[in-house]
Amino acid sequence: MKKFLALLAVLTLAGCSSEPAKTTQEQKPQPKAAELITGRSGFYKMLIQARGWKGDAQLYKVMSQPNSDSKGRDGKSAIWKAWFASRGSRASKAYVWSGTDASDAPSRGVAFGAEDTYSPNNASTQVFDQAFLKIDTDKAFEVAQQHGGDKILQKNPDINIVYLADWNGNENELVWHVLYGNSRDDARLKIAVNASTGEFLRKEK
């Protein structure tokens, strides 16, 4: 009888000691997956913050940023940057949206930089009405693929793709620049797509 009670006590203790470990394992939080979105979606996430800064804030540039979670395939990125300006206040501010917890990315959500001066006469920072941004980066990617991008990816499947939209004052049009590389300077291929119509414009030098 004494041996039976001793055995029962050992089994009871073993059961108690193993149960908390199982509970801890079950409750361990899982890493949140990266959120990859298109350029228009990223822009609208930052627009709310920008309009809170200045009621007349308008976009003059939006650009993706590759990282370990996203190389820019299918027009999507885990990081988007946008630059807004207020004509009335002659001020500008940069914003960034991140959908990842990766070490090479900003913290999740929307963050912004310091306010800077803005000149409406600067041709390289012309604000535009958001109504011109009708074509999203997934469509711009498709167009770029049809004009040489597919060959670039076949030769170098690990290459980053960057999307940049800005206003072309000479042609009075909004342009998506699809850059097969890390920037305009080192891109293997640069395709310009009309951001209002989706029309292929040209291969850029």
Give me 74's structure tokens.
């299918």
Average pLDDT, the chain: 90
- How far apart CA 16 and CA 28 sit, in angstroms, is 19
pLDDT score of 31: 78
d(CA 198, CA 161): 18
Per-residue model confidence as pLDDT tens digits over 99-158 = 999 999 999 999 999 999 999 999 999 999 999 999 999 999 999 999 999 999 999 999
Residue 139: how many other CB atoms lie within 10 Å: 16
8 A C-beta contact, residue 79 and residue 97: yes
Q: Characterize 87-96 residue by residue with b for buried, 16 or more Cβ atoms within 10 angstroms of its Cβ, and e for exposed.
A: eeeebbbbbb
pTM of the model: 0.85
Answer for the pair 98, 68: CB distance below 8 angstroms, yes or no.
no
